[in-house]
Structure 1
Amino acid sequence: MPLLCAASLLGIFTYVSAVSIAPGRVTVLDGIPYYIGGVPVSQLLDVPASSLDANLPDVDVIPMTVVSSHTETFTGKELNDIVSDYISRDDVFSSAFLNGKSLDHALPVGPYFLSAKTGQVFKAHRLYEDTQYAFLEPAVSDEKGGYSPLSTTTGTILGNSVAVPSRLYFTVTAEQPLAGLRMGVKDIFDVNGLRTSGGNRAYYTLYEPRNATGTAIQRLIDHGAVFVGKMGTVQFANGDRPTADWVDFHCPFNPRGDGYLQPSGSSTGPGAGVAAYDWLDIAVGSDTGGSMRGPAGADGLFGNRPTTGAVSLDNVIPLCDGLDTAGVFARSADTWARVVHSWYLDYEGGYYSYPKTLLYQDSSFTAEAINNSDASVLIEDFVSKLEKFLETNRTHIDIIATWNTTRAPDAPSSLSDMLQYTYGTLVSVYQWLHLGVSFFNDYAAKHDGRTPFMNPSAGGRWILGQRLGEAQFDIAWNNKTIFADWWNSDDGLGAKSNETCSQAIYTYPNSAGAVSYRNEYLGTISGKTEYIPVTMSLVAARGCDLMLANMVREMEADGILTPVATGSTMYP
């Protein structure tokens, strides 16, 4: 007979097969693999372990369910309604956690495992295969503010197993607006208890597990996001192309099309994972020169490069301070906007009037530039809908011509010459001086003077950084500053507005359906017609990230944008 205690019911129900409690152990209920960790989250103090053991002598753990009721009489109909609700909302809970007797104890609602030997209660984690190789190191909470590498697998060759806790454990509140969103993180961000690899095997083994989580990731966790593991990155957030450049670790697989398109980078694993897995809600990456925007386009996702300084990047492997940013991937504008509002706390989020100027760089939209007639139709349709949404007509611009007529008198006359080597110089020199030197020295000290292995692209950049040095860095930084000051000025294209934050929205094609495979062969791998993402970029003035989030969320509500699905096509 059910017992009520603090408006909670603890249901302890029948079990399918016996397992032993140990870190990294797996059990199967109704054909679904579950992870049972070694860290209990509660103890049934009011139920003697000996009585449980006597009743169930051959069983180590049994599944159980916590349900909540606010009525004095808990009816069968109410239980059935709760069960139906749980099944509809959660992929961890199943009917295998039902059919048995009940004991009372205070825990968040949802499925758990109970040790019949000790009375200890463990969270239920469902195990999913990482078939896209998106994760480098899945992890589980140590229930003390840190994380441990997941020490188990379902035993296939298709990738690691990722453990996700029940969504029923979490409730969205004002303090935790992201409660229950499962989150993967690019492996350049430090997370307490885990090593950081940067996509490099030598770096991973050289340094001990981190004892702190950086501000960018901790803020999301504090706001309710559920961290489930580290994800693949181009080595040290540089630019690689699969498969030749990815030597230390295998490049994640882009699920779109026939599954063998290159996934872009450097936030490769986060983009591929969110595009592939409906059990993964968001993933954090970084963007210095396109590392969020590239995968967002290749994988067909909502993703962003925010204003530099939008969130602190302490405890993150740097590419170039002053250019590095942290962004997030999601499959819907609403989820993406919810995350950035919770993340970029220094910006004004109350802008709900949007710019009336839509900047349209003609050279970006020509048939030659897009090189795909079907994509051109989709892009023109989007721009037309964006015009209607903003209640304006596009303003045709030529950035080079605008530069020539509005640049500062002492600025270089050729924009392309000024910027041609700027980015490459900045990231090559900065990362060598602020990461490479200490890494090489630390590795040599431990390995009898040896040099650690580097993937071709990252290694080549560090060689370039050594050759160019600080003098060339200073020239490149000055060029970057000249351009940024012009872009953000009243004469530039990124001017501010008191009413709409940004005076204009600048739009351009991000990906236009171009076929780019992860190998050297031409034509589709599958031999059939496949569909490739076509995506657009929207650019606003510095600091207007949340205005843009509001705008994109409203565009989704109006049907101009729609959430995307996982798998081979964005819109099956």
Structure 2
Amino acid sequence: MVSLKTCVIAGIHYLIHPQKLGTITATINPDSILPVTLLTTEEIFGGHLEQLLDEYARVDDVFVPDFGGVLVEKVPGNETNSISTASQVDVGREIYHLEPTVGVFDQLFDLPSGPYILHGPNVYQAWRLYEDTYEAFTFGVIPEDVTQADQFRALNALSPDGIFKSIPVPSRLYFPNPSPENPLSGARVSISDGMNLRGVRTTLSSQAWMSLYPAARTTADCAQKLMDLGAVIVGKTKVSQFASGEQWVDVQAPWSPRADQYQDPSGSSAGAGVALVGYDWLEHAVGEDAIDGLRSPAARNGVYALRPSFSNDSLSGVRVSSSRFDTIDLASRSLEGLHDIATAILAATTSKLPENIIYLEDFVTDIPQQQLDFLDKFVQTLESLLGVKTQHRSISDVWDDNPPSDAGRQDLHGFMKEAPFRSFCYDYAGEYGEFRDEYRQRFDQEPFVEASPRFRWGIGANVTEDEYNSYMKRIQVFQSWFSDNIVPSDSSVVAVFPYGATGPAYRQNKPEEPEAIEGLTPALLAPILGLPQLVVPFGQIPYESEVSERTEYLPLSIAVLGARGNDIGLVELVNQALVKAEWTTEVDTGRLAFAEPKRIWSTDVNSIVEDNQARGAELRR
């Protein structure tokens, strides 16, 4: 395996990708490292060189002016050089020429124009190294072959001070514009650590797991599809231990950039949410959506996220907690970006705007009235687009009025009190039974497991097969009843409800002892039903931080639940509604999801509602 080398250009750290792409004709010091820009003859001598280099610096975060100091000319066909052309036009720069030997590309002329690094006489891609200051990533990755990303290696480079991991990103200029065949061309995407990537480890934030299993031999289907569509996987983001842990014992928890920066990142795909709101050089994050009960990394971090309609097809090569409830999760900082990746990945889903809106009142009990008033503003934007009036309903009340015959005389809570959580725990314990057995056989001891997954495995181990079948029958009854009475399968209705935390949750406060989840929670509804769910941050709420001792702002989110298969329709519905209302459809990185002048609500907690209309002018910018 070729060792990796790094260098510093204009104060920025770069990785020299180890794959040689070509060789120049000149003889130079074999140890020299030189930033260069690879261009065609026309690009060099066509009279627009300065404008081209300025454009490169504008659109590409890898390219800096130092790359433009030395040029390497690539020539088409059998032309070996263009020295005669160079002698006629002085571009004020040293120019090298590529040898005409065919390299990893069919023709050296096919090498994309852009920034490269000469190490001695050889040409290599330049990958910029970004510091993972929020510790969102398990590690960064690079493909062994830049022309065919089917094998990867983890990057072990650290920041110059040795504190943070480095995440490599290639030049955006290496990739063509998006096309119908490659709609995600050049898009930088992170994947969850629970997804296999050939050549690198899957850690699950567990030392015991890492001690047992080597690097993956195959790539998860979802990750492969991303690459087939042109995306660049830059690294694997942290998951909570076995997608259920809360203590973060074996691995440091990611640091949320939001608010006072001491908020719990939350949820099984915590690293994915943190990476998106921490780093503007990352476009999308793909995680897995496991049953967390009450936690949502999308809502806590304030990103747009889509949990697609349930499908086993997307889970090959993904370490799941339950093959009946888990699915992938797509996230972006804008609705447009989410639409791009969802349309590419979920090409088979329908796109139909619904005709009616239902506001589910079952999950509003513990939410402050000020926040409910804000949620009403969001619902009004949907009403304005569709020209309908929202129907306020309670799932439990509708159940009481028209219960399914299979429920007997039980109310909704009694009927569904144990079924979702205990059936999940049964699946969860079974998914990791082989791991526990193999660990005991190899090391003659039990693996260390955090309290939350250990608690859930313990419950699952005590669920009998008959009990499990009974629970699944109840879930099927509820699914059928919900389709008949709340959200029909014809895509004509969406349901909205509050989603996510209503106040601060500090990372330094140790979690309470694990508890069973009873009945339905906002985070359980979509997994149980297998329906698509869109999480939308649309504002922020103030609180007085015990860390910074000042007013901070947390993202405020709502969930929109749709009919099975209408995943894209959900995204288009919300995007059209917010655009029509002149609300922003993207969030910022850093402490504030909506920074000035896009901030929506007053810093005065007591006057939030009264001040909302006055802030409308800012909202519409």
What TM-score comes out, normalization by structure 2 length? 0.80
Tell me if 1:111 matches 2:133: no
Tell me if 1:424 matches 2:421: yes
Tell me if 1:319 matches 2:291: no
Q: Which blocks of at least 5 consecutive residues in structure 1 are unaligned?
A: 1-20
Residue type at the aligned position of 2:202: T
Q: Is the 8 A contact 2:36 2:69 kept in 1?
A: no
Of 474, 479, 497, the residue aligned with 1:508 is: 497
In structure 2, C-alpha distance between the alignment counterparts of 1:138 and 1:525, rounded to whole Å? 31
The aligned residue for residue 8 of structure 2 is 28
RMSD: 2.2
Q: Is the 8 A contact 2:494 2:561 kept in 1?
A: yes
The aligned residue for residue 545 of structure 1 is 567
The aligned residue for residue 18 of structure 1 is none
The 5 Å alignment of 1:434-449 reads 434=431, 436-447=432-443, 449=444
Q: Is the 8 A contact 2:277 2:303 kept in 1?
A: yes
Residue type at the aligned position of 1:183: V
More deviation, 157-166/262-271: 157-166
Tell me if 1:369 matches 2:366: yes
Q: Is the 8 A contact 1:67 1:109 kept in 2?
A: yes
Q: Alignment partner of 1:321: what SS?
A: coil
Q: Is the 8 A contact 2:266 2:295 kept in 1?
A: no
In structure 2, C-alpha distance between the alignment counterparts of 1:512 and 1:442, rounded to whole Å? 38
Tell me if 1:212 matches 2:218: yes
The aligned residue for residue 518 of structure 1 is 507
The aligned residue for residue 379 of structure 2 is 383
Tell me if 1:486 matches 2:481: yes
CA 1:454–1:363: 2 relative to 1, 3 Å = closer
Residue type at the aligned position of 1:456: A
Residue type at the aligned position of 1:451: E
1:8-46 Cα distance to aligned partner (Å, 9 max, x none)? xxxxxxxxxxxxx96332211111111113222x112xx
In structure 2, C-alpha distance between the alignment counterparts of 1:177 and 1:190, rounded to whole Å? 23
Of 161, 170, 184, the residue aligned with 1:178 is: 184
Tell me if 1:79 matches 2:71: no
Q: Is the 8 A contact 1:130 1:158 kept in 2?
A: no
In structure 2, C-alpha distance between the alignment counterparts of 1:148 and 1:202, rounded to whole Å? 21
In structure 1, C-alpha distance between the alignment counterparts of 2:505 and 2:473, rounded to whole Å? 35
Residue type at the aligned position of 2:183: P
Q: Offset of 1:72 from its aligned partner?
A: 9.9
Q: Is the 8 A contact 1:488 1:542 kept in 2?
A: no
Residue type at the aligned position of 1:338: D
Q: Which blocks of at least 5 consecutive residues in structure 2 are unaligned?
A: 75-107, 511-543, 596-621
The 5 Å alignment of 1:62-77 reads 62-67=34-39, 74-75=46-47
Q: Alignment partner of 2:405: what SS?
A: coil
The aligned residue for residue 11 of structure 1 is none
Q: Is the 8 A contact 1:43 1:121 kept in 2?
A: yes
Q: Offset of 1:273 from its aligned partner?
A: 0.6
In structure 1, C-alpha distance between the alignment counterparts of 2:19 and 2:294, rounded to whole Å? 35
Q: Is the 8 A contact 2:38 2:73 kept in 1?
A: no
The 5 Å alignment of 1:139-154 reads 139-143=141-145, 144=148, 145-154=150-159
Q: Offset of 1:61 from its aligned partner?
A: 2.1
The aligned residue for residue 203 of structure 1 is 209
Residue type at the aligned position of 1:148: R
CA 1:310–1:395: 2 relative to 1, 3 Å = farther
Q: Offset of 1:91 from its aligned partner?
A: 0.8
Q: Percent same amino acid at aligned positions? A: 28
Residue type at the aligned position of 2:220: G
Number of matched residues? 522
CA 1:158–1:378: 2 relative to 1, 3 Å = farther
CA 1:158–1:486: 2 relative to 1, 3 Å = farther
In structure 1, C-alpha distance between the alignment counterparts of 2:43 and 2:152, rounded to whole Å? 38
Q: Alignment partner of 1:210: what SS?
A: coil
Q: Offset of 1:70 from its aligned partner?
A: 6.1
1:163-198 Cα distance to aligned partner (Å, 9 max, x none)? 111111112111110111111111111111111112
Q: Is the 8 A contact 2:381 2:578 kept in 1?
A: no
Q: Is the 8 A contact 1:292 1:303 kept in 2?
A: no
The aligned residue for residue 5 of structure 1 is none
Q: Offset of 1:59 from its aligned partner?
A: 4.4
In structure 2, C-alpha distance between the alignment counterparts of 1:568 and 1:265, rounded to whole Å? 19
CA 1:133–1:410: 2 relative to 1, 3 Å = same
In structure 1, C-alpha distance between the alignment counterparts of 2:423 and 2:325, rounded to whole Å? 9
Of 272, 275, 297, the residue aligned with 1:273 is: 275
Of 592, 601, 611, the residue aligned with 1:569 is: 592
Q: Offset of 1:569 from its aligned partner?
A: 0.2
Q: Alignment partner of 1:468: what SS?
A: coil
The aligned residue for residue 22 of structure 2 is 43
Q: Is the 8 A contact 1:379 1:509 kept in 2?
A: yes
The aligned residue for residue 61 of structure 1 is 33
CA 1:180–1:556: 2 relative to 1, 3 Å = farther
The aligned residue for residue 340 of structure 1 is 342
1:414-460 Cα distance to aligned partner (Å, 9 max, x none)? 211222222221222112223x221012212222x222111111112
Residue type at the aligned position of 1:560: W
Q: Offset of 1:405 from its aligned partner?
A: 2.6
